[in-house]
Amino acid sequence: MSQVLVIAQHDGEALSPATARAVSCAGKIGGDIHVAVFAKDAGNVAGEAAKLEGVNKVLTIEREENATPLAAFLAPQIAALAKDYSHVVMASTTFGKDILPRAAALAGKAMVTDVMEVIGEREFKRPIYAGNVIVTVTVPGEGTVFASARAASWIPAGTGGNASTETKSLDVALPTHTEFVKLEAEESERPDLQSAPRVVSGGRGVGSEENFKIIYSLADKLGAAVGASRAAVDAGYVPNDFQVGQTGKIIAPELYIAVGISGAIQHLTGIKDAGTIVAINKDPDAPIFEVADVGLVGDLFEILPELEAALAK
C-alpha cells in the first residue's frame, strides 16, 4: 500500500493553501498520507495541517535551520525522510519547484512534475508544450516517487480532518555552503496571486507603470489580486512575481480579468483552469477572445472607468 509524504508549504505562521491541493493529489495516489512540517516552531502550521481531510499524521521536524525555507537545508532532510515513503508530493509552486527536484536528486530518484491526474501509483498525466499536449508518464523501476502537483488541477482538501501529530528528529548533517541572509519581499495588502479567487491582470496594452494604477484600482474594488503578462513584466510595468503563464504563475481563480492582453499561448497556459475569463481588448481578433467567457471590445482606458463606476453603484 502507498505511504505518501506531503511537504507542507508555510511561512512559519500559516499553512499555504497550496498544501491542501497537494494533499488532494496525494489522496488520489491512495494509502496513508503524512504531512511533514519543517519549521523552527511548527505549532500553528502543524495544527492547520492536521485539520486537512485525508491526512493521517502530521510530522513536525523542528530545528533552527528550518526557520527559513532554504532548499539547501530542506532537501537533504526530505531525502532522508523519503526512505520510509512510496511517494513524496509537493505543490508545484515556486517553493516546491525550488526544493523537490533537489530532494529527488539527493535521494537518487526520478521526479514527475506538474501532475494533473493520477492514473496509478506510478502513472500520471502532466502537461507539455505550454499545456497544448497532455502526456501520460510512467515512473520506471521501484522506490520512492517524487511528484509535484500542478496546484491549479487540484481542489484543496477540506478542513474537517483531525490527524495526530508526531515530533520527528532527523539525524541529517546540513551543508555549510549556504546561509540565510535576509528576505526582501513586496509588502502588499492584496490577496496572493497564486491562491486568490479573483485576479485582474494587465498586459502590454496598459502602456506603462503609471497606467497600471487603473489595474490596481479595479482589483481593489473587486478584492482581487493583480497579475500581468510577460510583456508587461519585461517592460517594467510591474515586478516579475506578477507574471501569469508558462514561465510565471499557473493560477485557477474563479474570475480572471485580462486587460490589454492579446492571449498568447504562453499566457493562456497559466489560466487554463480559471472559472470565468473576462477579456478587455481593443482588437476584436485578439486570441484572448477565443477563450474568454465575456469579451469587451474597446479601449481599456474607457472601459475600466465605466466598470468601476458600475461597481460603485
Ligand X SMILES: Cc1cc2nc3c(=O)[nH]c(=O)nc-3n(C[C@H](O)[C@H](O)[C@H](O)COP(=O)(O)OP(=O)(O)OC[C@H]3O[C@@H](n4cnc5c(N)ncnc54)[C@H](O)[C@@H]3O)c2cc1C
* Smaller CB separation from ligand X, 127 or 205: 205
Beta strands per DSSP E along 139-243: 145-149, 164-167, 198-202, 225-228
Task: Please report which helix (H) or strand (E) contains residue 126, including its range.
Answer: strand 123-128
Q: How far is the CB of 77 from ligand X (least distance, A)?
A: 31
Using the rule CB under 6 A, is 248 a contact of ligand X?
Answer: yes
* DSSP one-letter string for 82-121: HTT-SEEEEESSHHHHHHHHHHHHHHT--EEEEE-EEEET
Q: Which of residues 188-217 bind ligand X (CB under 6 A)?
A: 203-205
Selected binder of ligand X within 77, 86, 153, 262 (CB under 6 A): 262
Q: How far is the CB of 103 from ligand X (least distance, A)?
A: 25
* Smaller CB separation from ligand X, 87 or 272: 272
Selected binder of ligand X within 75, 107, 224, 264 (CB under 6 A): 264
Q: How far is the CB of 244 from ligand X (least distance, A)?
A: 6
Give the span between the Cα atoms of 22 and 149, in whole angstroms. 6
Q: How far is the CB of 137 from ligand X (least distance, A)?
A: 21
Selected binder of ligand X within 27, 76, 245, 253 (CB under 6 A): 245
* Smaller CB separation from ligand X, 55 or 264: 264
Using the rule CB under 6 A, is 231 a contact of ligand X?
Answer: yes
Using the rule CB under 6 A, is 118 a contact of ligand X?
Answer: no
Give the span between the Cα atoms of 313 and 311, in whole angstroms. 5
Using the rule CB under 6 A, is 76 a contact of ligand X?
Answer: no
C-alpha pair distances (Å), 58 with each of 35, 61, 197: 5, 10, 28
Selected binder of ligand X within 166, 283, 290, 293 (CB under 6 A): 283
Q: Where are the alpha helices (DSSP H) in 174-292?
A: 213-222, 230-234, 265-268, 288-291
71-82 and 94-107 helices cross at what angle (nearest 10)? 50
Selected binder of ligand X within 45, 300, 304, 307 (CB under 6 A): 300
Task: Give the 3-state DSSP-derived string for 174-188, with helices as H, strands as E and coil as C.
Answer: CCCCCCCCCCCCCCC
Helix (H/G/I), strand (E/B), else coil: 224: coil
Residues in touch with ligand X (CB under 6 A)? 203-205, 229-232, 243-248, 260-262, 264, 266-267, 270, 280-283, 286, 299-301
